[in-house]
Chains A and B, each alone.
Chain A
Amino acid sequence: MNSALDEYREVSPKGTVDFLYRLSDLVKGKSFLHLNAVRYGGGMSEVLRRLVPMMVSLGVQARWEVLAGTQEYFVVVNRMLNALQGRDDRLTDEMYHTYSSIIERNAKALKLEADMVMVHDHQPAGLVDYRTNGCWLWRCHLDLAQPQRPAWTFLRRYVLKYDAAIFSLSGFAQRLPIPKFLIYPSIDPLSPKNRDMSRSEMTQVIDRLGIHRVKPMLLQVARFDRFKDPLGAIRAYRLVKKHHDCQLVLAGSGVMHDPEGEAVLAELREAAGRDPDIHVIQLPPEADLEINALQRSATVVLQKSIKEGFGLTVSEAMWKGKPVVGSTAGGIAAQIVDGVTGYVIHTVEGAAFRIRHLLNNPGLMNRMGAMAREHVRRNFLITRQLSDYLTLLKLLPAS
């Protein structure tokens, strides 16, 4: 028996762990290399930290290498990120040159040989120029639906050299002549952000954040960013407040050294005015326990984003047995089964209408919350992603 995986017996669907053992028998001894740009920070690193040891414990020679970049390089890839996601960030020829030279330097330093090499996102994508053996997959976690053309043209040149690309949703992909697979990202149910919490631990955190423990809580966890529409969340709350004595918590990070974040925060504070039931909480990066406690204490979770990546905060809340009222942006609607685990909404009014309906029907809220947790258990846990990666390793031959 194997401890890294056996810990998931209690939380994953029936038979899953045994199935993973049998699946791993088909790929035992094969090597699998993950390449990305950061060791810490962000959902991808969070999952890789857990996923790679799990693969190793199943007999796969899994490794995770991180690209070494300069400050200048990270400025370039951040601009590239914005441009790929449609923002008007221009890149100069010099910037493209910086990218290529860092890639070349890393190609010399990194050991790139493996049966399967999975390159995450755009930062290390250029390493494909130095591929030797194995099957190379480009794992794109971004929404590439409407990129700035120059940035995509630059990146596409590399992407075409891969054996296949993997996107989180069909709608995030661009047209490509290589196979395009679809794999949802996942959450780790045993991580500090999602593990079970005792009532006293939860109470401690909620009290520390200054939130009323009895009043029904509407919660949106999101970076302070206009795309997350926190002002829309306040407008929805005000429509609900006419009928229910509730409170709204907007918890997020991303303000430090970010002028837009600061501006959004100022707008929110102004919109909240003197309403003591609106709590705008700035969280430090990786405030996992706080997010866990907030999601567990919430009555209804809201995700009112206008533009979103996959939006795994939805699955995190659903895992804690909460019905989620979410917009159609990004991957939010892909996680909610409308009318069963929560509601998909299109407007502020729709959000208010559904929240009111839920607050009027505690029984429905509990049933939806229970279904939400089961839906996540079967579709959005790390065990499912592990199964997908092992399947890739078995099904895709090296070119």
Chain B
Amino acid sequence: MTLPAVAPFAFIGCSELQESIAHQADDEKELAELIEEVPLDSIHFHTHSYFLRHGLIEGTYPNDFAQWVVVQIGDHVLGERLAVIDPFDYPDLENLREEIISIIDDHLSRTPIIPRVVFGQPFHFKRSRILEVPIGLEARTLQEFRDMVTDIDVSTIYYHMFEAHFRLRREENDFSAWIRSSLGMLKLADRIRSINPYQGSLERLRSKLITACDEFLTGESARV
């Protein structure tokens, strides 16, 4: 049996409003130059909310930059290099921006021509405004938490797993932080913290969270 939390976990969902900013790139050099210039919000949009927009679909590239160079320019080499960037490896968006620029610059230094859009669409830079929406659900035990995760809108998972990283500026996500500090379940907290949200869709993330909770709860009941 799990004990009630010191403080309940209040789930928050989010709604994203996309805003176009007046920059567009037609080739990879322009892309790098504009990545250097655009507000950090835009870097966040193109590396994170891709998941919010593709809550289910997997198999495509996990950020808009990689997706664009592959699909619109046809440059698979740069696409692959950009695709493996893991935003969790960087302490903040400025560092993430520098890494992306450095990968593109390095790629261009080895390419005799600057790959550009011929038949495809230019890259349109965007940013988003996120509205936090308390969804009125509060979990006091791990079982309640697990049951609520099963039914919540995926934007709630996005908010607590992705937004938390840069909002809190720490490696912990909201779920693992609560399980650690309020439930005192350190092993489970470590496991949930180690889930990399950039590898799979939000639905896959939901499944991983539920599996982690179920396995922990099964272990608990076996011990009792």
Contact = CB atoms under 8 A, between A and B. Distances in A.
Most chain A CB inside 10 Å of its own CB: which residue of B19, B20, B60: B20
A378 B56 contact: yes
A129 interface: no
B38 to A, nearest CB: 13
B15 A387 contact: yes
Contacts of A374: 56-57
A187 B148 CA distance: 29
Given A22-B134, A23-B133, A340-B60, A183 B15 contact: no
Most buried by B among A19, A337, A388: A19
Interface in A373-399: 374-375, 378-379, 387-388, 390-392, 394-395
B7 interface: no
A101 interface: no
B129 interface: yes
A167 B129 CA distance: 16
Contact of B151 (A15, A171, A346, A379): A15
Interface stretch (A155-163, A174-182, A281-289, A297-305): A174-182
B217 interface: no
B53 interface: yes
Interface in B21-62: 22, 24, 53-57, 59-60
Given A13-B55, A26-B133, A374-B56, A391 B153 contact: no
A371 B59 CA distance: 12
Contact of A18 (B17, B135, B154): B135
B6 interface: no
Contacts of A260: none
A181 B57 contact: no
Interface residues of B, number: 35
A338 B126 CA distance: 21
B64 to A, nearest CB: 12
B131 A391 contact: yes
A371 B60 CA distance: 13
B121 interface: yes
A326 to B, nearest CB: 14
Contact of B124 (A170, A181, A183, A337): A170
Interface in A134-166: none
B57 A337 contact: yes
Interface string B151-174: 111111000000000000000000
Given A13-B153, A19-B135, A19-B153, A388 B121 contact: no
A181 B17 contact: yes
A19 B53 CA distance: 16
A394 to B, nearest CB: 6
A171 B121 contact: yes
A390 to B, nearest CB: 7
A13 B156 CA distance: 13
Nearest to B153: A15
Contacts of A391: 15-17, 131
A13 B121 CA distance: 30
Most B Cβ at <10 Å: residue of A23, A171, A183, A341: A23
Contacts of B57: 337, 340-341, 371, 374-375
Contacts of B18: 181-183
11 contacts: A14-B151, A18-B153, A19-B156, A22-B136, A26-B131, A170-B126, A181-B19, A340-B60, A375-B56, A390-B15, A394-B131
Interface of B: 13, 15-20, 22, 24, 53-57, 59-60, 71, 119-122, 124, 126, 129, 131, 133-136, 151-156
Given A18-B153, A23-B131, 20 more contacts: A14-B153, A14-B154, A15-B13, A15-B153, A19-B13, A19-B135, A22-B134, A167-B20, A171-B121, A171-B122, A173-B20, A179-B19, A333-B121, A340-B59, A346-B119, A371-B57, A378-B154, A390-B15, A392-B17, A395-B131
Shortest 5 CB-CB contacts between residues of A and residues of B: A15-B153, A170-B124, A19-B153, A391-B15, A182-B18
